[in-house]
Structure 1
């Protein structure tokens, strides 16, 4: 199953953020992907392979 996502899309991850939300914005794409929590603004950077494993679905394009 291929998951289509792009820069500035909002995605849902498998585990929610400790602040209580599960909505993240993709703000950088490359070999690593940086996502930003929509509620508190926390930035998380992870390898693309790990991101694809942890992402549940794309919420908004």
Structure 2
């Protein structure tokens, strides 16, 4: 069962980004999900399966 990920949610990842932040905002959903780092605003696009494995928790 896929996670309930929606545009605008903030998620905490298991590993931190190169800038040191673990929080990302979801900007696009579908089979591929686009996330934006809260601290440095870098955009990353991952397939849903990979993202669901890397998410630790949904913050809001």
Q: Could you tell me the TM-score, scaled by structure 1's length?
A: 0.89
Q: Alignment length, in residue pairs?
A: 60
**Mapping for residues 1-61 of structure 1, pairs under 5 Å:** 3-60=3-60
Structure 1 unaligned blocks of 5 or more: none
Q: Could you tell me the TM-score, scaled by structure 2's length?
A: 0.90
Deviation beyond 6 Å, 4+ runs, structure 1: none
Structure 2 unaligned blocks of 5 or more: none
Cα RMSD of the aligned pairs, angstroms, is: 1.5
Which whole-Å CA distance do the structure 2 matches of 1:4 and 1:47 have between them?
A: 15
